[in-house]
Amino acid sequence: MLFLIPASSNATHLLGGSLGYEYIGQQPDGTFRYRITALTYTNCGPDSNVPDPDDDLFIGIYENDINNPDADKVLVDQLIISLQDTTAITSNLPANCTIGEDVCIVEATYEGFINLPLNLGGYIVYYQRCCRNDGVINLNSDEQGFAFYTQMPSPTIENSAPVFLGAPTPFLCQNDTTTFVNTAFDPDGDQLIFSFVTAKWGYTSAANPNPGPENPILNWPIAEIGWEAGFDVNQPFGPTGYAFIDGATGLTEYSAPLAGPYTVAIEVREFRNGVLIGTTIRDIQLQVLVCPPNPAPDLSDINGGQTDFQVLAGDSICFPVQLEDLNGDTIVVTSAGAIFDPLIFDPAATITTPQTGAGLVTAEFCWVTSCEQGQEL
C-alpha angle with apex 269: 254 to 241, nearest 5 degrees? 15
Q: How far is CA 337 from the centre of its chain?
A: 14
Distance separating alpha carbons of residues 58 and 79, to the nearest angstrom: 6
- Residues 205, 208, 213, 218: is their CA dihedral positive or negative? negative
The percent of residues in the chain predicted with pLDDT above 90, rounded, is: 62
| Nearest residue to 187 (alpha-carbon basis) of 344, 19, 20 | 344
pLDDT at 47 over 90: no
Contact 365, 333 (CB under 8 A): no
User: What is the model's pLDDT at position 27?
Assistant: 98
Q: Average pLDDT for residues 257-270, to the nearest whole number?
A: 94
Is residue 121 packed enough to be buried (19+ CB in 10 Å), middle (13-18) or exposed (0-12)? middle
Q: φ, ψ for residue 339 (rounded to 5)?
A: -70, -15
Ramachandran region, residue 303 (left: φ > 0; alpha: ψ -120 to 50; beta: rest): alpha
The more confidently predicted of residues 369 and 11 is 369
Ramachandran region, residue 290 (left: φ > 0; alpha: ψ -120 to 50; beta: rest): beta
Distance separating alpha carbons of residues 248 and 134, to the nearest angstrom: 33
pLDDT at 108 over 60: yes
Three-state DSSP class for residue 339: helix
Confidence of residue 98 (pLDDT cuts 50, 70, 90): low
Ordered alpha helix ranges (H), the chain = none
Q: How far is CA 109 from the centre of its chain?
A: 12
Which of 50-54, 89-93, 271-275 is predicted with the least confidence, judged by mean pLDDT? Answer: 89-93
| Nearest residue to 108 (alpha-carbon basis) of 82, 87, 80 | 87
Confidence of residue 156 (pLDDT cuts 50, 70, 90): very high
Contacts of 193 (CB under 8 A, 6+ apart): 247, 248, 268, 269, 271
Q: Are strands 275-289 and 171-173 parallel, antiparallel or unpaired?
A: parallel
Three-state DSSP class for residue 372: helix
Distance separating alpha carbons of residues 47 and 103, to the nearest angstrom: 9
Q: Average pLDDT for residues 194-209, to the nearest whole number?
A: 96
CB-based burial, 69-101: b 16+ in 10 Å, e otherwise: eeeebebbbbbebebeeeeebebeeeeeeeebe
Mind listing the pLDDT tens digit for each residue in 315-354? 999 999 999 988 888 888 888 888 898 888 899 999 999 9
Q: φ, ψ for residue 199 (rounded to 5)?
A: -65, 155
| Nearest residue to 113 (alpha-carbon basis) of 83, 86, 81, 84 | 81
Mind listing the pLDDT tens digit for each residue in 277-295? 999 999 999 989 888 777 7
The amino acid present at 48, given as its one-letter code, is S
Q: Average pLDDT for residues 259-280, to the nearest whole number?
A: 95
Distance separating alpha carbons of residues 360 and 151, to the nearest angstrom: 44
Q: Average pLDDT for residues 223-249, to the nearest whole number?
A: 96
Which of 104-113, 183-192, 198-207, 213-222 is predicted with the least confidence, judged by mean pLDDT? Answer: 183-192
Contact 162, 268 (CB under 8 A): yes
Highest-confidence range of 136-140, 178-182, 311-315, by mean pLDDT? 136-140
Q: Average pLDDT for residues 109-117, to the nearest whole number?
A: 98
| Nearest residue to 373 (alpha-carbon basis) of 344, 335, 352, 351 | 344
User: What is the model's pLDDT at position 104?
Assistant: 82
| Nearest residue to 345 (alpha-carbon basis) of 187, 220, 239, 209 | 187
Q: φ, ψ for residue 145 (rounded to 5)?
A: -80, 175
Distance separating alpha carbons of residues 32 and 114, to the nearest angstrom: 8
The percent of residues in the chain predicted with pLDDT above 70, rounded, is: 91
User: What is the model's pLDDT at position 345?
Assistant: 87
The more confidently predicted of residues 7 and 363 is 363
pLDDT at 120 over 90: yes
| End-to-end Cα spacing for the chain | 40
Distance separating alpha carbons of residues 297 and 107, to the nearest angstrom: 28
Confidence of residue 180 (pLDDT cuts 50, 70, 90): confident
Contact 56, 40 (CB under 8 A): no
Q: Average pLDDT for residues 71-78, to the nearest whole number?
A: 98
Confidence of residue 1 (pLDDT cuts 50, 70, 90): very low
Contact 57, 8 (CB under 8 A): no
pLDDT at 16 over 70: yes
The more confidently predicted of residues 111 and 189 is 111
pLDDT at 305 over 80: no
Q: Are strands 251-255 and 178-181 parallel, antiparallel or unpaired?
A: antiparallel
